[in-house]
Structure 1
Amino acid sequence: MKIHGLQKMTLLDYPSKVAATVFLGSCDFRCPFCHNFELVDGTAAPIMDDAELFSFLDKRKGLLDGVVITGGEPCLNSSLKDLIIRIKDMGYLVKLDTNGNHPDVLKDLLSENLVDYIAMDVKNSPEKYSDTCGVKIDTEIISESINLIMNSGVDYEFRTTAIKEFHTAEDFAKIGEWICGAKAYYIQQFTERDTVPDKSLSSPSAEDMEAYRQAAERYIKNVILRGL
């Protein structure tokens, strides 16, 4: 397996844990606000293979609690399950980041207790999903992943990157209704970067973000703003 990025230590990516973050390449979405688009379009060359990754993780035993697997979209990688099994066999917790478009993969991993935490992106309200993702999306598939995660018994969070041009408070009310009763929902403020595909996108104001939070809070008790 080719590893396209490695953050050797993070206190942010895995709640309450010290972790390393592993970036896998490729994604089936084309979100115009993606901060890791070089992983999506293939312009980011691999930095190591799995043997080098496991050598690194072996040296970090006792220093790291877990490993975050992100992308891109990790569930596209046919070797994901084997990668997770080897990481778990080393004694690490595993957090998986996903776009929710592969419930079959999630179901398989959850059935074998291979993930300890899942973070799933909920890109927008169902009506605006395809426009936000840049490709045609079947939101029934997204709903399947939401239901799997919420009923899995595994710790999890849902999250949305809020972009001024894509989101309104009404959208966040609809998202809240979609994931009603979720354990945790994070609304992340989009930050403008040269690396995102669409340079015209902008960050919502602090007032916008608070309106988004209040809209989602009608359905979810634990709504947290990130990025302010």
Structure 2
Amino acid sequence: MKIAGFDKLSLLNYPDMVSATIFTNGCNFLCPYCQNSALVLDAKDNELIPEEEVLDYLKERRKLLDGVCITGGEPTIQKDLKEFIEKVKSLGLKVKLDTNGSHPEVIKELLDNNLIDYIAMDIKTVFSKYNQIANRNVDTDALRSSIDLIKNSNIDYEFRTTVVKEFVSYEDLIFILDYLNCKKYYLQKFEDRQSNIVYHLEAYSDEELKEIYSNLKEKYDFIKIRGLR
């Protein structure tokens, strides 16, 4: 598998777990606010970490780790993702997958083979705006299929939206929440950084997000928020 980054210890990327985080190389979306821009823009030039090196580390530290978070980039574009996860699972570690939901057939295969324990899918915005964010022609039917697969799975999951003013309005969030009607959904604060693909996008302030969250929470009890200071 094409691994471009490896965080050996994290208390944040896998809820309630001590985990290592693996960053896969490349993505099929080009979201302007992506904070892992090097994995997307420089995919052809990134120096990759040998899979064996990562697995050896996980084997040595498996008694200290609860699991592994596989993120990106977009992991589901990796042709040998399933085989890699099988190797991680053989070490007795749990696996969390982060995905944009563009490849439901991969998600289905992983779920059918009991290879993931937690899945987090990014909901970028309402379906009608996806091409604008991803800078690609996005198959929104595939996104809907992924959402259904995740909601009907027997594993823990979350949906999440990073709220950028240019792309996500309050009305958009109502549409998203009505559509999802799920167990767990996170509003995530956006931070404008030079490392993003596009710099100088507009973030909601903490005060604005708190007000949005408070209003939405009255109707949608499954909504949560993260990233506030």
How far does residue 211 in structure 1 lie from its aligned partner after superposition? 4.1
**TM-aligned CA distance change 1:207 to 1:43, over 3 Å:** farther
How far does residue 139 in structure 1 lie from its aligned partner after superposition? 1.5
Contact 1:132 1:166 in 2 (8 A): yes
2:7 matches 1:7? yes
Give the letter aligned to residue 17 of structure 2: K
Counterpart residue number, 1:129: 130
- What is the CA–CA distance in structure 2 between the aligned matches of 1:187 and 1:44, rounded to whole Å? 33
RMSD (CA atoms)? 1.5
Counterpart residue number, 1:208: 208
Give the letter aligned to residue 207 of structure 2: E
- What is the CA–CA distance in structure 1 between the aligned matches of 2:125 and 2:45, rounded to whole Å? 27
How far does residue 178 in structure 1 lie from its aligned partner after superposition? 1.5
2:154 matches 1:153? yes
**TM-aligned CA distance change 1:86 to 1:197, over 3 Å:** same
Contact 2:18 2:66 in 1 (8 A): yes
Deviation per CA, 1:84-133, whole angstroms, max 9, x where unpaired? 00000000000000000000000010001000000000000122222122
Give the letter aligned to residue 221 of structure 1: D
Counterpart residue number, 1:167: 168
Deviation per CA, 1:186-205, whole angstroms, max 9, x where unpaired? 11111011111211202101
Contact 1:5 1:46 in 2 (8 A): no
Runs of 5+ consecutive residues of structure 1 not aligned to the other structure: none
**What SS class does the counterpart of residue 35 from structure 1 fall into?**
coil
How far does residue 69 in structure 1 lie from its aligned partner after superposition? 0.4
Aligned pairs for 1:10-29 within 5 A: 10-29=10-29
- What is the CA–CA distance in structure 1 between the aligned matches of 2:33 and 2:225, rounded to whole Å? 18
Counterpart residue number, 1:116: 117
TM-score normalized by the length of structure 1: 0.95
Counterpart residue number, 2:99: 98
Counterpart residue number, 2:78: 77
Contact 1:93 1:115 in 2 (8 A): yes
Deviation per CA, 1:36-63, whole angstroms, max 9, x where unpaired? 1111121662342111011111111210
Counterpart residue number, 2:221: 221
Contact 1:118 1:156 in 2 (8 A): yes
How far does residue 2 in structure 1 lie from its aligned partner after superposition? 3.0
Instruction: Report the count of equivalent residues.
Output: 227
Give runs of ≥4 in structure 1 deviating > 6 Å.
none
How far does residue 214 in structure 1 lie from its aligned partner after superposition? 4.4
Counterpart residue number, 2:177: 176
**TM-aligned CA distance change 1:56 to 1:44, over 3 Å:** farther
**What SS class does the counterpart of residue 144 from structure 1 fall into?**
helix
How far does residue 217 in structure 1 lie from its aligned partner after superposition? 3.7
- What is the CA–CA distance in structure 1 between the aligned matches of 2:35 and 2:44, rounded to whole Å? 13
TM-score normalized by the length of structure 2: 0.94
Deviation per CA, 1:179-224, whole angstroms, max 9, x where unpaired? 11x1111111110111112112021012331344246546632211
Runs of 5+ consecutive residues of structure 2 not aligned to the other structure: none
